[in-house]
């Protein structure tokens, strides 16, 4: 598949992480008898066509973008809780104002808090879904035994994405793909189980008007639950880092150690210089 990109710099150490939501570049090195004779840091580009011109940009990492939203809302929900809701910091008794005014103020604060928590949960879980599905190679197959029936079902990538739940993707498929230890033994796993339940409670609400599940957002472990998506990603990232492996799938948000996807499969015939930042792309000069 043809891609358009930008040679950002020559060596990885010259790269600056200007936004941790942007896709990681790929460092392409040319070797001659195991000796480096050329290097470039290649950052993929995309463009949007408007009626009168085109805008080029470095696309964001989808997992990183979703995780960024979740982390921002987690930070905001913590601030709301600590300032307005934490009983150790806030007085919730009816004293200085009328009961009606206090209830109005508290209701607004609670709604703001719940909104931030729910955004955090939904986008954190979606980041994990995106990561899991993107991690599955196109040719990967998963065999699942149907209990009590002795039937083995074979799932290809599309079937896995559609029919296998996220917990099983992590515990049975990604641990195989990334060759990790059992993820169920990790301390954050119980938080992930709760995150999944809370997300389903939001998306698949069965009783319209029931707000009882909101109260779980005031449990002591809510912030650990909301923070677990990053821990899940780090679990798989660290397994790969120990093997000196990385790839463009990993967002900067879980790793800022300047670890680049690296390839030495440089084939000049696969690259074509089509322009530069001053003159634009061939056949379309910047105005």
pLDDT at 151 (0 to 100): 81
For residue 121, the SS3 value is helix
* Tens digits of residue pLDDT in 243-284: 656 667 788 877 666 576 776 665 555 656 554 544 555 544
pLDDT at 183 (0 to 100): 97
- pTM score: 0.85
What does the mean pLDDT of the chain come to?
85
For the chain, give the percent of residues with pLDDT over 70. 83
* DSSP codes, 184-236: GGSTTHHHHHHHHHHHHHHHT--STT--GGGGGGGSTTHHHHHHHHHHHHHHH
pLDDT at 48 (0 to 100): 94
Residue 165 has pLDDT above 90, yes or no: yes
162, two tokens? 């559609």
| C-alpha count within 13 angstroms, C-beta hemisphere, residue 75 | 6
Average pLDDT over residues 135-156: 86
Residue 239 has pLDDT above 60, yes or no: yes
* Tens digits of residue pLDDT in 11-70: 888 988 899 999 988 888 888 888 877 888 889 899 999 999 989 999 999 999 999 999
Going from N- to C-terminal start, the domains of the chain cover: 4-60+261-281, 63-130+167-247
pLDDT at 287 (0 to 100): 42
Between 286 and 269, name the one with better pLDDT: 269
pLDDT at 283 (0 to 100): 47
């Amino acid at each position: 598949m043809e891609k358009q990109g930008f040679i950002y710099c020559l060596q990885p150490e010259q790269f600056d992480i200007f936004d941790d939501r942007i896709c990681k570049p790929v460092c392409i090195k040319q070797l001659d008898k195991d000796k480096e004779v050329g290097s470039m840091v290649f950052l993929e580009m995309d463009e949007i066509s408007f009626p009168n011109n085109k805008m080029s940009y470095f696309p964001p990492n989808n997992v990183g973008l979703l995780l960024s939203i979740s982390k921002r809302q987690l930070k905001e929900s913590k601030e709301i809780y600590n300032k307005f809701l934490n009983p150790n910091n806030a007085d919730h008794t009816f004293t200085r104002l009328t009961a009606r005014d206090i209830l109005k103020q508290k209701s607004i604060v609670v709604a703001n808090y719940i909104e931030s928590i729910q955004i955090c949960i939904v986008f954190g879980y979606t980041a994990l879904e995106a990561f899991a599905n993107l991690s599955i190679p196109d040719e990967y197959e998963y065999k699942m035994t149907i209990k009590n029936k002795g039937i083995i079902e074979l799932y290809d990538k599309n079937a896995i994405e559609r029919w296998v739940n996220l917990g099983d993707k992590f515990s049975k498929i990604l641990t195989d793909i990334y060759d990790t230890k059992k993820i169920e033994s990790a301390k954050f796993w119980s938080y992930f189980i709760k995150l999944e339940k809370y997300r389903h409670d939001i998306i698949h609400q069965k009783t319209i008007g029931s707000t009882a599940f909101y109260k779980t957002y005031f449990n002591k472990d809510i912030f650990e639950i909301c923070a677990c998506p990053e821990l899940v990603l780090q679990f798989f990232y660290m397994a790969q880092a120990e093997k000196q492996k990385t790839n463009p799938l990993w967002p900067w948000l879980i790793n800022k150690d300047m670890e680049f996807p690296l390839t030495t499969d440089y084939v000049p015939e696969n690259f074509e210089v089509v322009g530069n930042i001053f003159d634009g792309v061939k056949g379309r000069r910047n105005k």
